[in-house]
Structure 1
Amino acid sequence: MAVRDIRISNEEGSGPNPEAPAPPSALPATKCRSLPVFPDSCLNRYSITKRGRELLRGIAIGTGVSTGTVCKAGSLEEAQTCPDHCVLVCSDTGPDWLPVLERAHAVVTEHGTRTSHTAIACRELDIPAIVNAGKAMTELRDGGAATVSCSEGDVGFVYEGVAEVQVTEINPASIPITRTRIMLNLANPATALRWQGLPADGIGLARMEFLVRNLIGVHPMALLYPERMTDREERKRISELTSDWQDPGTYFTETLAQGIAQLAASQYPKPVTIRTSDFKTNEQVKLIGGRDFEPLEANPMLGWRGASRYYSAEFREAFALECQAIRTARDDIGMDNLRIMIPFCRTPEEADKVLEELSANGLVRGKRGLAVYMTAEVPANIELADEFSERFDGFSIGTNDLTQLTFGVDRDSERLSELFNDHHEAIKRMIARLIDTSHRHGRAIGLCGQAPSDHPEFAAFLVNCGIDFLSVSPDSFLRVKEQVAQAESAGAAP
C-alpha cells in the first residue's frame, strides 16, 4: 500500500498534493484530509483519525463522511433557506425536499428507517445521512461545525467540529471480476457520469418517479388538462414552465426523454433498466396540480400505484407520456440499451393489460430488442411465477415491498422496525423459489436493494441460489462486489 499524508484545510480545496508520489496503479493509496466532503465515495474507504466529541448517533445511510455547518430546519420552507454544503438537520424529509437535499453535504433526521424516503434519496444522491437520530433538532447547535460519519458500520455518528479522515482510495482495476453481474441503482442524470469509472454491469434500477419529480415537478394530468386545476397560482406556474415548448405534453416527454437518455448514455452499451413510475397517491398529490387529479387513500402503500395506474381511465394518458419519453430516448436519441421494468404488478391479468398499453404506445416487447422486466415484490409474484414468466423477460426482486407484504409490517414504521427483516428465512425461501422458477423458464432474475450490502451472509445466499444480478447504490458497489467475489471463490456459485 502506498501512503500519502496530506493536510488540506477547508479553504485549500481537495486537490492532491503535487509533490506527493503517485501510488502504484494496482494498489490503494491512503491519505489524511480535513475537508468538507470526500468525492467519489464509492471508491474510497474512510477511517476517522481525529475527531471532536460525539454529539449524536443513529442509523447510517451510505459509507461516506462529510463535514459542514449545521442548519436546522423545522419545515421545508426553512430548509429552502439553508446554505449550500450544509449539514441539514430536520425531523424528516419527503419527496418535495429533493432540491434541498441536493444542496446539502450531509443530512441528519430525527425519524426514518433504512427504507424511508430520506434513506433512499440520499443513497441516490450519494449524500451521507443519519436517520432515526433521536433529538437531533435539540442536541445539535445551529451554525456549529459538525462531521457526519457513516463509515463506521450500521451506526452513524455526528461529531463536533471538522474531523481528520484517513482515505483509502481504491483503484477500479483492483476490483474483482464476478460471474454475478453487479449493477447500479441510479436516477439522477446530473451525477450519472460520475460513476462511469466503476466496473458496473449497467443500471439495474432507475426510478421514473425520481426523474418526474426532480426534472418536471408537475403532475402529468395537470399538463394535459390545466383547465381542470382549481389553483390559479399552480396554473400560472405550469404556464411559465412550459412557455418555451410546443405544448405542455411535449415539455413532459422531451424533458423526461433527455433525462432517461443521459442515464442510458452513462453506461452505454450496457443495459439500463428504467422502472416506470411507482408514485403512491400521497406522493403524486405533492406534484404541481396533483391535488386535482389524485384520490385520498387511507393506505397509499396498498392503493393506486404501479401497474394499476397504467391502464386506468384516470391515468392512461399520463402513462402514454412516460412511454413516449422512453420511445424517444430509445428510437430517436439511440439509447437502445434501455429496457423497461414494471412495478407492483399484482396479477398476470394485470400484466396483460400493461403490456397492451405499452404496445399501444409503440413499446412492443421483443421489438428492436426491447426487454420488459417486472419487479417481484408482491407475494403473488412468487406464487404465480410460472405465469408471470410467460409475460416478462426477467424479474427484479424488490425486497422492501416483499418484506412488508409478507410480514404485514409497514416498512416506514419505526415502532416495528425490528420486525422488518428483509433477509428473514421466510423471505429467503420465497427468493430461492423464484430464482429456480425463473431459470426453468430461461428468465434472468436479480435483486435491487441494500440487503446484500448490509448483510454479507445474505449476499452469499443469493450467489448460492444462482442469482444473475444485483443492483445496489454506488456507495455499496465495492462492498457488494467483494462479498460476491468471496462467495463465488468459495464455491458458492457454479
Structure 2
Amino acid sequence: MMMFPTLNQISASDRQQVGDKAFYLSQLQQQGIAVVRGQVIPARAMATLLAVAQWPDSLLVDIFDLPAALPLEHPEHIVPMAQQLRQALWAAPCGLELSRLISSEDDAVMLLRSSITLEATTGAWSSLMTGMLAPRTSWNQVQALEHHLKGFWADLLTNRALTILQRRHLQLRHVHLAVLMHPLYPAGLSGTLVRDGSQLTLEAVQGLGLAMTQGEAIPSRCSLSLDTQPSWTWQAGYQDVVYRVSEYETPSQSSTTTPPVEPFPGITPQSPDNPYLDQIVSRQQTQALIDLSQRVQPLLGSSFRLDWLIYDAGAVGHRLIVTQAHPVVAAPVVLARENSAAVTVEPPLPAVTTVIRGLGASAGQIMAPALVIDRDWGALSAAQVSQAAGHIVVVRDLQPDRLAHLKGIVGIVSEQGGLTCHAAILARELMIPSVVGAPQVTELIQTDDRLWLDGQRGLIYRLPSSAAVTPLAWQSVPSSPPSDQAKSLEATAATTPPKTKLMANLSQLTSVTRVKQLPIDGIGLLRSEWLLLEALDHRHPQQWLAEGYTTELVERLVERLGKILTAFAPAPVRYRSLDMRSHEWAALAGSPAVELNPTLGIRGTFSYHVSPQLFELELQALARVQSEGGHNLQLLLPFVRTLEEFLECRQLIEQAGLMQVPEFQLWIMAEVPSVLFLLPEYIKAGVQGIAIGTNDLTQLLLAADRDQPLMASVFDERHPVVLTAVNHLIQMAHQYGVPCSICGQAPVRYPELVELLIQWGISSISVEPAAVEQTRLAIVKAEAGKRL
C-alpha cells in the first residue's frame, strides 16, 4: 500500500489500515460514483508514533496495552495520567512526510475525519470510538496538518476515551485509527440521504453541513417511496447561520509556534439572505439524489446512509459528490415485558413513510394513532384531554404534571427532554414506551397519523395512512432461555443472599402491587411529588393552601402514603419530601410563575425556608401515618444546599414528633456538590444516611442540563469527575458510620458501574422497578468477584 493512498488505490486487503469510512468511499469511487478527492494517513502512522514516543516512567505497561492497567477504581488518578500521556505524544516527532499530502495549492482548507476499524475479536465498537473523535478542519499547510493529525491521536488518550476503552475491554492495540483527509469543498448545499429498503429520506441545508451536524438548523426534508412513481415534496426548514469556506491566509514562513487552536479553522459563519429553507433543492437535483441511491444500493445493501454536497465546479457546472457512506445494519428489537425475560423479534411493520430518531427513554413497542399537542396546555379542553386514551401523545415537552392529565395513553414522544428527565423516569415506572429528544416531531407528525413507536431504540415510524392500525403492543413471543451465567448467578443468590441491599424507586400508588412482587429490600426513593400529583385535582398545592383546604390535603397524602407503608412493611420506605421545580407544575391551577432557571431556583429544602407551610403540612401527614403503625417510614430531604437549611428542617421534624419512633431515620439526598465538602458537618448535625442522586449531581458537576437532549453526550455519569465524587461520598459515609445508598439512573444506564459501587462499599442500590432483576444479578456477580 502507498504511504498516503488515494481512495482509488485502496483494495479490500487495506481495510484495517485505512478504516471503514475510507474503505466504503473507495468502493463507491471504484464503481464510478463521484466522491470526495481524498487521501488516507493509514493506521500504522499512529502505531509508529506510539512506539517511538518517550512515555512517562509512571506508565508501567506497554503503551499498546493501555488502558488495561489503569486504576479505574480510582478515577481521580486517570486524569493526571492521561494528561502526561498526551504531553508525551505532542512532544514526539511526527515522522511523516506530510508535504506529500499537499498536492494542490488550490485546496485552501482540508477536512480530516477519523476512519476506524477494530479487531473483530473485540466487538463492533467502531461507531462508539468514532463519536469521540470529532472531524477537524485544517489549513493546507504542513505545520497545521501535523497539529490536527496529532490532535486525533491525542484524543484517544483522554481520560474519557481511556475509561470507555477499559469498560469495553479494549486496548490501544485493538484500535486501528486512520485519518481520511480531503479538501473542504465550497458547498452550496449539503445534506444526508438515508435509504431503508424502498423508503428514501433526504435532508438539506445551505452551505457546509456543519449547521446540520451541530444542530443549528432545521433542515429541509423530503421523504418518498421508490416503489411508486417517484413524486415528492420538500418540507421547508429554517437556518439562521450558513457556514462557508474561508479564503486562505498564507501563514508566516517564520512562524514556528503551534497553530492557534480554533474550533473549525477555514470555516466562516454567515447570515443567510433568507433563513427559510424553501425550494432550495431543485427537481433536477432531487432526481440526481434518487438516482444516486439506486447506484449505491448494489454496493452497500438495502439500508445505508450517505452524506452529500453540491458545489460549483466552474466550467463543469454544479457537481454532486458523496462525502461519507456506510451501510445501516438494523439492530434487532428488544421488547421489555413485565414478568418475562426480554425477547428479540423483528417489528411487524408495513412500509413506513417517515422515520424519526430520538432518545429511547422507556422500553417497549406500540402501534397506535398519534395525538399531537403543540399548544398551551391550559388551552386544552376536557374533550381533547379525554381523547388521549389509546393514543401516542406527541408533544414539545412533557412534564409530570401534564402526564397526570393524560389517562390511558399508550406511548409518549417529545421534542425536548433527556433520558434522566422526570417525565422519562415516570414513563419507565408506568411502563409506557417513550422517546424523548426527537427533533421537529410535532411538525413532522399530525394528529391521527399511524405510528409505530420503539422506545428501546428511540425510533418513531410513521405508517401509510392506508394502513389499518389499531392499538397494538408487543406480541406474545416465547422468551429466550436464561444463559448459563444467569442460571449460575441465580443459584449463588439463592444460597448466598447479597450483602448489598437492593431497593426500588417508586412514585405511583398503581405500581405498588407489581413492585411488591420484586426481590427488593424496601423502597429506596419514594417521590412525593408524583405520589401526590393525582390527588391534587389539577390544582397546585399552594392553591390548596390559599383556599384553606389544608386538612383535606393532609388526609389525601395520609391515605396514599399509608397504603405504601403497609404494603412494604416491615421493610423501610424512604419518603423524599416535596421537591417542586416550577416548570414541572406549571399546568396546575394556581401554579406560581415558572422561574428562569428552575433547576437552580426555589426548590428542595430552600423552598421550605421561603414558604414553610407546605412542608409543615407534609410533616403532619408523616406523623399521622407513623402514629397509625407506619414505623418503617424514613424521611429523605431533597436538594440540600447548606447546613443551615438542614438544621432548620431538623427542628421542624423534631417538633412534629417524627424522631420519637426508634425505627425512623433522617436522610438527605447527596446531589448538590456542596455535600462533598459539608458531609461531616451534616452527619454531626444529625444526618443518619445519604442517598446519592446521580441525576442532579452529574448535571451540576458537568454543567450539563439533564433535560436538554443536545447535552446527552455530555451528561455522562461515567465521567471521572462524577465517579470520583461518588467514591468520595461512599468513603466519607463509611468513615463517619452512616449508610450510603445510590438512587439515580447511573446503575441502570450503565450496569457495569454496579461492580465499582460494590468495590467502594455502597450500602444499598435503589433502581426503577424494570431494572431490579438485572441489577440484582449484577450485585450477585460483583459480590462473588469481590470474594475471590
TM more than 0.5: yes
Distance in structure 2 (CA, Å) of the matches to 1:329 and 1:280: 26
One-letter code of the match for 1:195? V
Structure 1 counterpart SS, 2:532: helix
Aligned partner (choices 401, 409, 414) of residue 104 of structure 1: 409
Query: What displacement does 1:169 show?
Result: 8.4
Aligned partner (choices 501, 524, 546) of residue 225 of structure 1: 546
Aligned partner (choices 615, 623, 628) of residue 319 of structure 1: 615
Distance in structure 2 (CA, Å) of the matches to 1:461 and 1:121: 27
Distance in structure 2 (CA, Å) of the matches to 1:63 and 1:282: 26
Distance in structure 1 (CA, Å) of the matches to 2:608 and 2:632: 23
Contact 1:129–1:150 (8 Å) recurs in 2: yes
Q: How does 1:7-406 map to 2 (within 5 A)?
A: 41=338, 43-52=340-349, 53=351, 55-75=355-375, 76=377, 77=380, 80-140=385-445, 142-151=447-456, 155-156=458-459, 158=461, 160=463, 164=475, 166=477, 168=479, 176=493, 177-216=497-536, 217-226=538-547, 248-284=549-585, 286-291=587-592, 297-312=595-610, 315-332=611-628, 334-364=629-659, 367-390=661-684, 391-406=686-701
One-letter code of the match for 2:630? M
Q: Which residue of 1 aligns with 2:751?
A: 456
One-letter code of the match for 1:255? R
Contact 2:506–2:526 (8 Å) recurs in 1: yes
Change (3 A) 1:272 1:167: farther
Which residues of structure 1 form unaligned runs of 5+?
1-37, 227-246
Contact 1:184–1:473 (8 Å) recurs in 2: yes
Larger Rg: 2
Query: What displacement does 1:344 show?
Result: 0.9
Tell me how many residue pairs correspond in the alignment.
427
Residue-by-residue CA offset, 1:220-250 (whole Å, 9 max, x unaligned): 3433333xxxxxxxxxxxxxxxxxxxx6111
Distance in structure 2 (CA, Å) of the matches to 1:463 and 1:147: 40
Change (3 A) 1:88 1:287: closer
Alignment RMSD (CA, Å): 2.8
Contact 2:395–2:442 (8 Å) recurs in 1: yes
Q: Structure 1 stretch 134-143 or stretch 379-388: which is displaced more?
A: 134-143
Distance in structure 2 (CA, Å) of the matches to 1:205 and 1:156: 30
Distance in structure 1 (CA, Å) of the matches to 2:359 and 2:733: 35
Query: What displacement does 1:351 show?
Result: 1.1
Contact 2:366–2:454 (8 Å) recurs in 1: yes
Distance in structure 1 (CA, Å) of the matches to 2:773 and 2:343: 13
Contact 2:416–2:707 (8 Å) recurs in 1: no
Contact 1:44–1:169 (8 Å) recurs in 2: yes
Contact 2:676–2:725 (8 Å) recurs in 1: yes
Distance in structure 2 (CA, Å) of the matches to 1:481 and 1:92: 33
Q: Which has the higher contact order (CA 8 A, sep 6+)?
A: 1
Distance in structure 2 (CA, Å) of the matches to 1:123 and 1:472: 11
Contact 1:403–1:422 (8 Å) recurs in 2: yes
Change (3 A) 1:433 1:322: same
Distance in structure 1 (CA, Å) of the matches to 2:620 and 2:340: 36
One-letter code of the match for 2:513? L
Provide the identity percentage: 27
Distance in structure 2 (CA, Å) of the matches to 1:170 and 1:353: 54
Distance in structure 1 (CA, Å) of the matches to 2:583 and 2:440: 27
Distance in structure 1 (CA, Å) of the matches to 2:783 and 2:598: 40
Aligned partner (choices 742, 767, 771) of residue 447 of structure 1: 742
Q: How does 1:469-488 map to 2 (within 5 A)?
A: 469-488=764-783
Query: What displacement does 1:266 show?
Result: 2.7
